């Protein structure tokens, strides 16, 4: 009996040890499976970033794609007639060509200069009778585009002086009169409105860094160094353009909807920070439905939400943002989420070849696609009508979406888990647009507004000083707002730099309102000459 009891205890101990080892192995196996899924997701993301499409207009999900593999069974028909040689003959197929733009469309809005080719005086005689020829008309030959390189001139101002001869005869003293010279753009400087506007447009619209502009000036015979150009831009922006930007901010905060985003900018000489550290350029934009398109850029040393809270202090409209938690510090505004970011989360979680039948992330992605399809139909509606349409058509779709979301139990740490967590955390913000017809469902407006800055940053890479970064924000505000309102950036800046110095250093709000880019007078003088038909790559 003693030996049997001892043997039973040994068997129990071995069993417990094996069960414990089995549990540990299962846990290790589950952890390795999660890591493998995570590695596959990262690999898929890298492949998609390098080889996949960047546009979100097309859907990755094709619910009917699997039907191609059972097409034979689906289309089978025993009574279908056998083909003959005549029925098998395929008619020649000719691909429809895309309509080419006409010359009139390509050159619409450009000035036209006629050149009439005439005979010389010696040739204007008839070969038969010798009588002088008479011009009776002209025949069209061809059209050409002419490019006239810019010219650099030195303008020397003099003021004419006048005297009253009659007073001089009567009293012996002449009354002298002279013309008042236009105000300087910058003291003790060769800078003119046209020069500084050209430098600004080349850098902030065309993305030409100052060191490249320095080479261009050199080829044109002007030794204008980049340090001088930087000083001109900074001093002009801080002295004359900054008050106008403050007025644009005032108008922006009066709107019902503001879209916000931010991106990285590097400033080399910033107190308390190494040159390699990252700062932020924030952008705030007013929607197209407000009638006053505004793009406002603001430089800040970091990404703290306190900067957005300070900028939007007292604002009570709707604020559309991505999922960054820093925007939670903004009080008073109605926070609205971005469904484009939500859709990206589902797309990133979809494995290769995913369909709604094989991937839960694909189902979430398809929900977002349906939402965007409905919103596209509502885009031309008024705010009140769109709000009603959303409550009728969109709200049931979202209810089904949130119910489906509750059924998901993703593997922790996976991309699917990230998408589910994002959806749960952003639910109140993603649903806020239902009560506000003036709000769009995505933050693409702000992302598109900040894209020119990100593209330009690839060329000029960094700002040297904080003043430079702040001045860049001022110029970007004006040129991007001008573009949003259909103005030519150079024409708008030229008008501002020519006329603002007449108002002095402290212009009134009434005076500054005369330069708002949506005014008809500004449009008449600065409207972009290139029509929408002829814009784009040729």
CA–CA separation, 474 vs 235, rounded Å?
A: 11
357-386 tens-digit pLDDT: 888 999 999 999 999 999 999 988 899 999
Give me the pLDDT at residue 340, please: 92
CA–CA separation, 278 vs 281, rounded Å?
A: 10
Helix axes 339-349, 2-51, angle to 10 degrees: 120
Looking up tokens 């094709």, which residue turns up?
A: 62
512 has a pLDDT exceeding 50: yes
233: Cβ contacts below 8 Å, ≥ 6 apart: 196, 199, 200, 203, 468, 471, 475
Least confident of 94-98, 279-283, 361-365: 94-98
Boundaries of every domain in the chain: 193-248+449-526, 250-259+275-290+316-445
- Total Cβ atoms within 10 A of residue 152: 13
Q: CB–CB of 362/346 below 8 Å?
A: yes
Confidence of residue 143 (pLDDT cuts 50, 70, 90): confident
pTM: 0.76
Q: CB–CB of 395/371 below 8 Å?
A: no
Region 262-279 average pLDDT:
77
Least confident of 30-44, 66-80, 499-513: 66-80
CA–CA separation, 446 vs 428, rounded Å?
A: 20
Give me the pLDDT at residue 39, please: 75
Residue of 474 and 462 predicted with greater confidence: 474
Nearest Cα to Cα of residue 298 among 466, 464, 116, 460 = 466
Express as a percent the part of the chain with pLDDT over 90: 41
E strand residue ranges, 44-203: 161-163, 176-178
3-state SS assignment for residue 465: strand
Residue of 142 and 400 predicted with greater confidence: 400
Q: What angle do CA 79, 83, 86 make, to 5 degrees?
A: 145
Copy the structure tokens of residue 152.
Answer: 């650099």
- Which stretch of DSSP H or E encloses residue 7? helix 2-51
Q: CB–CB of 283/262 below 8 Å?
A: yes
- Total Cβ atoms within 10 A of residue 277: 13
Please tell me the number of Cα atoms within 13 Å of 111 on its side-chain side.
4
444 has a pLDDT exceeding 90: no
Give me the pLDDT at residue 69, please: 40
β-strands 463-465, 279-286 pairing: unpaired
311 has a pLDDT exceeding 50: yes
CA–CA separation, 13 vs 342, rounded Å?
A: 52
Residue of 517 and 458 predicted with greater confidence: 517
Give the highest mean pLDDT range of 55-69, 98-112, 327-341: 327-341
Region 310-315 average pLDDT:
93
Nearest Cα to Cα of residue 312 among 252, 263, 264 = 252
390 has a pLDDT exceeding 90: yes
Give me the pLDDT at residue 93, please: 53
Confidence of residue 75 (pLDDT cuts 50, 70, 90): very low
Confidence of residue 445 (pLDDT cuts 50, 70, 90): confident
Least confident of 275-279, 283-287, 378-382, 403-407: 275-279
Copy the structure tokens of residue 529.
Answer: 């000459």
Give me the pLDDT at residue 461, please: 64
Express as a percent the part of the chain with pLDDT over 70: 83
- Provide long-range contacts, Cβ within 8 A and 24+ apart, for 356-359: 356/61, 356/63, 357/63, 357/66
Alpha-carbon distance values, 330 to 314, 319, 341 (Å): 9, 9, 20
399 has a pLDDT exceeding 50: yes
Give me the pLDDT at residue 521, please: 94
Which residues make beta-bridge pairs with 163?
Answer: 176
- Size (the chain), residues: 538
149-182 tens-digit pLDDT: 888 888 898 888 888 888 878 887 878 888 888 8
User: What is the full DSSP assignment across 182-198?
Assistant: PPPSSTT----HHHHHH
Confidence of residue 68 (pLDDT cuts 50, 70, 90): very low
Q: CB–CB of 276/327 below 8 Å?
A: no
Nearest Cα to Cα of residue 178 among 158, 206, 203 = 158
3-state SS assignment for residue 265: strand
Q: CB–CB of 258/311 below 8 Å?
A: no
CA–CA separation, 28 vs 25, rounded Å?
A: 5
Region 517-531 average pLDDT:
85
CA–CA separation, 375 vs 369, rounded Å?
A: 10
């Amino acid at each position: 009996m003693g030996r049997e009891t001892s043997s039973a205890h040994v068997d129990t101990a071995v069993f417990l040890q094996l069960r414990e080892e089995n549990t540990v192995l299962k846990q290790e196996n589950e952890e390795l499976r999660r890591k493998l899924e995570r590695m596959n997701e990262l690999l898929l993301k890298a492949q998609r970033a390098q080889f996949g499409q960047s546009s979100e207009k097309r859907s990755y999900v094709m619910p009917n794609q699997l039907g191609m593999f059972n097409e034979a069974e689906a289309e089978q028909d025993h009574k279908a007639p056998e083909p003959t040689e005549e029925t098998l003959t395929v008619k020649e197929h000719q691909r429809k060509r895309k309509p080419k733009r006409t010359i009139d469309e390509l050159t619409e809005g450009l000035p036209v200069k006629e050149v009439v080719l005439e005979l010389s005086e010696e040739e204007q005689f008839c070969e038969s009778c010798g009588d002088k020829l008479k011009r009776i008309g002209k025949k069209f030959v061809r059209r050409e585009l002419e490019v006239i390189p810019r010219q650099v001139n030195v303008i020397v101002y003099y003021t004419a002086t006048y005297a009253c001869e009659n007073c001089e005869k009567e009293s012996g003293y002449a009354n002298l009169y002279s013309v008042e010279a236009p105000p300087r753009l910058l003291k003790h400087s060769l800078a003119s409105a046209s020069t500084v506007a050209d430098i600004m447009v080349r850098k902030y619209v065309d993305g030409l860094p100052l060191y490249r502009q320095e080479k261009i000036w050199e080829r044109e015979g002007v030794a204008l160094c980049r340090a001088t150009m930087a000083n001109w831009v900074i001093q002009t922006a801080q002295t004359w353009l900054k008050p106008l930007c403050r007025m644009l901010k005032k108008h922006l905060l009066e709107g019902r909807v503001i879209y916000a985003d931010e991106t990285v900018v590097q400033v080399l000489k910033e107190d308390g920070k190494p040159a390699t550290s990252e700062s932020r350029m924030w952008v705030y934009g007013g929607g197209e439905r407000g009638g006053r398109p505004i793009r406002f850029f603001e430089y800040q040393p970091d990404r703290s939400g306190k900067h957005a809270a300070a900028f939007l202090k007292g604002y009570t409209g709707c604020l559309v943002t991505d999922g960054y938690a820093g925007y939670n510090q903004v009080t008073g505004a109605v926070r609205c989420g971005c469904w484009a970011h939500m859709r990206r989360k589902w797309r990133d979680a979809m494995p290769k070849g995913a369909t709604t039948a094989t991937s839960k992330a694909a189902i979430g992605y398809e929900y977002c696609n349906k939402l965007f399809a409905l919103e596209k139909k509502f885009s031309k509606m008024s705010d009140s009508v769109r709000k009603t349409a959303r409550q009728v058509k969109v709200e049931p779709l979202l209810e089904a979406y949130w119910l489906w979301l509750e059924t998901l139990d993703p593997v922790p740490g996976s991309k699917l888990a990230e998408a589910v967590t994002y959806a749960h955390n952003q639910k109140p913000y993603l649903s806020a647009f239902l009560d506000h017809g003036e709000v769009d469902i995505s933050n693409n407006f702000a992302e598109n507004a900040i894209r020119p800055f990100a593209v330009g940053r690839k060329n000029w890479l960094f700002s040297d000083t904080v003043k430079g970064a702040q001045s860049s924000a001022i110029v970007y505000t004006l040129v991007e707002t001008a573009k949003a309102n259909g103005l030519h950036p150079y024409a708008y800046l030229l008008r501002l730099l020519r006329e603002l110095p007449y108002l002095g250093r402290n212009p009134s709000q009434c005076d500054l309102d005369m330069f708002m880019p949506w005014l008809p007078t500004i449009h008449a003088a600065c409207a972009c000459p290139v029509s929408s038909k002829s814009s784009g790559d040729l």
